[in-house]
């Protein structure tokens, strides 16, 4: 049938302390996918990312990246963290931030090579920031900083980009340009994007899923009734943004919605 | 003035003091930069004070207190590091407790030690004018080790300081390197104890780096500038304490403090000048 998934999750449970945050998650992400997972805050989006990145051990179930355990497989993941406030005085240049993405490719104590320099410039070129290469990261705008993090994730030529709330704290115009950039990048790289802001992502992603402790994902573009049930808050947000016609399916399931 | 300086350096103790000031400034500039950008000033203070337990142990066992201090500060650095990384909340409380226990242990051990304890105060308040030649050799070795280790792991340490999670994902041994950094802080702190005393270690560790951070924007230049500033501060402080018979450690710290204030003034003057140029109407637009 289809080729092997890049990310494979099977009957996965995870959480902290007594209560599971992720309940029985099953998810396969294939090459060239552009998956957007939406869900309310507290619905387990961050937990899911931590599990994929091997920062949190699942309590039950299985997660694999490229058929490998996450700690090895995560070298194939380009992670773009959520933009948070940070120490603007931190002395590091854009070049040095992007270079961080190559640390995994290089053994400790080995020097970086001239080819690494080329890779860093190529990654910055992809996000249109070559001209800022020597700037201190603290002097960049939020959107530019997000692009630097995307370049940092791309520089090691990952199989999949994993983005956590890529537009959470940037203005709508910049968000649009970030999503357009991601759509272009998707021609080469698989993307998994997690956000609570669905109105924007639905226009760009290829398939959408809803995460609120459980996951409803059918590798489709539309929001299905079970997604509405699971992620009750998603459709509310959706309709509030005036886009129901875009993502609600045409087939008759409306009785479920009003249950 | 020149004659007075030449005259002063006829004395071995002044030459040793000068050498100690320069050697300590190197470790201080490099490690202080990491302390400032990682915001681990509190942990460094804890390490410095817990080291007093080692000094007490040195007196108690009749060995060189410096070795006791190195052992104790390394242990407390690893302990505090482990606490800080395992318990995300209330780490500062536990570090504060270890800080106090270390000091208390030192005091009790010294109470229980026989013999002459006159130079005890020099560990608390420093005495750059009484650094023996053997300590200089030790300082040079520690400086050399710090320079080698930091150049080997510069990129990793920078990455950990900037974004630890991302560095973890690169499968860099983040925990081991972080503990290495804390161990380097520990030995730096012990070296500095000789010069300014453990109570004021934190000031000399952080002030030069804090000033540099205002004026340069790369880790490497921060380290170099901090080292140079540390040298200037210790040399001026040393000279003033020699000529006016003041406590050397306190003089060095006061000079550093004045340097910090001047730097703040320069920074705010620069910021207001930049704002003025923003408001200038553009002629050709």
- Can you give the residue ranges of every domain in chain A? 7-82+160-257
Label residues B152-172 b or e (16+ Cβ within 10 Å = b).
ebebbbbbbbbbbebbbbbeb
Report d(CA B122, CA B120) in Å as an integer.
Answer: 5
Task: Look at residue A245 in the predicted model and tell me its pLDDT.
Answer: 43
The pLDDT > 70 percentage for chain B reads 95
A53: closest chain B residue by CA: B169
Dihedral over alpha carbons A62, A66, A70, A72 (to 10 degrees) = 140
Contact A91 B37 (CB under 8 A): yes
Q: Give pLDDT tens digits for B157-205.
A: 999 999 999 999 999 999 999 999 999 999 999 989 888 888 889 999 9
Confidence at residue B279, expressed as pLDDT on a 0 to 100 scale: 62
pLDDT grade for A220, boundaries at 50, 70 and 90: confident
Contacts of B159 in chain A (CB under 8 A): 100, 103
Residues of B in contact with A79 (CB under 8 A): 166, 169
CB A101 within 8 A of CB A152: yes
How many percent of chain A have pLDDT more than 90? 46
Residue B270 has pLDDT above 80, yes or no: yes
What's the rounded Cα separation, in Å, for the pair B213 and B29? Answer: 11
In tens, the pLDDT along A80-99 reads 998 887 888 899 999 999 99
Number of Cβ pairs < 8 A linking chain A and chain B: 70
Query: Cβ A101–B159 below 8 Å, yes or no?
Result: no
On whether the CB atoms of residues B237 and B251 are closer than 8 A, the answer is yes
Say what the pLDDT of residue A40 is: 82
Dist. CA B179–CA B143, nearest whole Å: 18
Q: Could you tell me the fold of the domain covering B2-273? A: ABC transporter involved in vitamin B12 uptake, BtuC (1.10.3470)
**In whole angstroms, what is the distance from residue B265 CA to residue B273 CA?**
12
> Six-digit token pair at A128?
């249109």
Instruction: Say if residue A234's pLDDT is above 60.
Output: no
The reported pLDDT for the residue numbered A200 is: 67
Q: How many residues does chain A have?
A: 259
d(CA A249, CA A216): 15
The answer to whether A159 and A6 have CB atoms below 8 angstroms apart is: yes
Q: Residue A74 is nearest to which of B37, B152, B169, comparing CB atoms? A: B169
- Domains of chain B by residue range: 2-273
H/E stretch holding A123 reads helix A114-126
Task: Please report the ipTM that was assigned to this predicted complex.
Answer: 0.86
Give the CATH architecture of domain A7-82+160-257. Answer: 3-Layer(aba) Sandwich (3.40)
Instruction: Note the pLDDT of residue A259.
Output: 38
Q: Please answer yes or no on whether B219 and A92 come within 8 Å at the CB atom.
A: yes
pLDDT at A113: 86
Instruction: HSE, CB side, 13 Å, CA atoms: give it for residue B99.
Output: 18
pTM: 0.88
Kindly report the CA angle at A10 between A69 and A152, in degrees rounded to 5? 50
CA distances in angstroms from A165 to A46, A175, B43, B54, listed in the order given: 10, 11, 33, 49
pLDDT, mean of residues B101-130: 84
Q: pLDDT per residue over A145-165, tens digit each?
A: 999 999 999 999 999 999 998
Dihedral sign for Cα B41, B46, B52, B54, please.
negative
Residue B274 CA, chain-centre distance (Å), reads 33
Across chain B, mean pLDDT equals: 89
Strand partners, A160: A77, A190
Average pLDDT on A163-180 reads 85
Pairwise CB contact (< 8 Å): B155 & A71: no
**pLDDT for A184 beyond 60:** yes
Element (H, E) at A208: strand A207-212
DSSP state letter for A127? T
CB contact under 8 A, A108 and B153: yes
pLDDT on residue B30: 97
Averaged over B2-29, what is the pLDDT? 89
Whether B88 has its CB under 8 Å from any CB of chain A: the answer is: no
Q: Does B175 touch chain A (CB under 8 A)?
A: no
* Edge-first strand listing for the sheet containing A160-164: A77-80, A160-164, A190-195, A34-38, A207-212, A214-220
The dihedrals phi and psi of A183, each to the nearest 5 degrees, come to -65, -40
Is the pLDDT reported for residue A197 higher than 80? no
Interface residues from chain A to B (CB-CB < 8 Å): 53-55, 71, 74-75, 77, 79, 81, 87, 89-93, 96-97, 99-101, 103-104, 108-109, 112, 136, 138, 152
- Would you put residue A66 in left (φ > 0), alpha (ψ -120 to 50) or beta? left
**β-strands A60-65, A207-212 pairing:** unpaired
**A204 Cα distance to chain centroid:** 13
Higher pLDDT: B120 or A24? It is A24
Query: Is A45:A74 a contact under the CB 8 Å cutoff?
Result: no
Q: Cβ of B168 under 8 Å from any chain A Cβ? A: yes
- Per-residue confidence band for A233, with pLDDT thresholds at 50, 70 and 90: low
Summarize the confidence of residues A96-103 as an average pLDDT.
Answer: 94
Nearest CA in chain A to B151: A109
User: Would you say the C-alpha torsion B76, B81, B87, B90 has a positive or negative sign?
Assistant: positive
The pLDDT assigned to B274 comes to 81
Higher pLDDT pick, A174 / B259: B259
Residue A106: count of CB within 10 angstroms of its CB: 18
């Amino acid at each position: 049938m289809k080729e092997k998934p890049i990310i494979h999750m099977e009957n996965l449970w995870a959480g902290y302390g007594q209560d599971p945050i992720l309940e029985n998650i099953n998810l396969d992400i294939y090459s060239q996918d552009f998956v957007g997972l939406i869900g309310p805050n507290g619905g387990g989006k961050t937990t899911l990312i931590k599990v994929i990145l091997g920062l949190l051990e699942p309590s039950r179930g299985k997660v694999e990246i490229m058929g490998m355990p996450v700690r090895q497989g995560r070298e194939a993941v380009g992670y773009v963290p959520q933009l948070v406030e940070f120490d603007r005085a931190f002395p590091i240049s854009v070049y040095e931030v992007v270079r961080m993405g190559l640390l995994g490719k290089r053994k400790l104590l080995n020097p970086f090579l001239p080819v690494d320099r080329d890779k860093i410039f190529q990654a910055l070129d992809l996000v249109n920031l070559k001209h800022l290469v020597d700037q201190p990261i603290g002097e960049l705008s939020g959107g530019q900083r997000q692009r630097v993090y995307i370049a940092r994730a791309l520089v090691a030529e990952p199989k999949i980009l994993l983005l956590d709330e890529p537009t959470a704290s940037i203005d709508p115009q910049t968000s649009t340009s970030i999503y357009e950039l991601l759509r272009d990048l998707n021609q080469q790289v698989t993307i998994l994007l997690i956000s609570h802001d669905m109105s924007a992502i639905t226009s760009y992603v290829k398939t959408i899923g809803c995460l609120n402790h459980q996951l409803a994902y059918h590798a489709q573009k539309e929001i299905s009734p079970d997604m509405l049930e699971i992620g009750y808050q998603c459709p509310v947000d959706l309709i509030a943004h005036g886009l129901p016609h875009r993502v609600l399916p045409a087939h008759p399931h409306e009785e479920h919605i009003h249950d | 003035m020149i004659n007075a300086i030449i005259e002063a350096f006829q004395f071995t103790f002044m030459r040793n003091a000068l050498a100690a000031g320069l050697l300590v400034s190197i470790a201080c500039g490099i490690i202080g930069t990491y302390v400032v950008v990682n915001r681990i000033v509190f942990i460094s203070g804890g390490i410095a004070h817990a080291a007093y337990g080692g000094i007490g142990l040195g007196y108690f066992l009749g060995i060189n207190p410096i070795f006791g201090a190195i052992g104790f500060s390394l242990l407390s650095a690893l302990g505090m590091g482990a606490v800080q990384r395992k318990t995300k909340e209330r780490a500062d409380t536990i570090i504060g407790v270890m800080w106090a226990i270390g000091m208390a242990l030192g005091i009790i051990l010294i109470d229980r030690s026989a013999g002459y304890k006159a130079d005890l105060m020099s560990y608390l308040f420093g005495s750059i004018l009484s650094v023996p030649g053997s300590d200089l050799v030790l300082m040079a070795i520690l400086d050399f080790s710090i320079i080698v280790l930091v150049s080997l792991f510069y990129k990793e340490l920078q990455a950990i300081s900037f974004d630890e999670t991302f560095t973890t994902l690169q499968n860099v041994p983040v925990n081991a390197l972080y503990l290495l950094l804390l161990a380097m802080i520990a030995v730096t702190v012990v070296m500095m104890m000789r010069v300014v005393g453990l109570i004021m270690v934190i000031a000399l560790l952080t002030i030069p780096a804090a000033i540099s951070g205002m004026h340069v924007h790369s880790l490497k230049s921060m380290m170099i500038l901090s080292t140079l500033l540390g040298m200037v501060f210790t040399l001026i402080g040393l000279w003033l304490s020699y000529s006016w018979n003041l406590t050397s450690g306190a003089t060095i710290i006061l000079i550093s403090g004045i340097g910090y204030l001047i730097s703040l003034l320069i920074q705010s003057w620069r910021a207001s000048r930049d704002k003025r140029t923003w408001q200038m109407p553009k002629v050709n637009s």
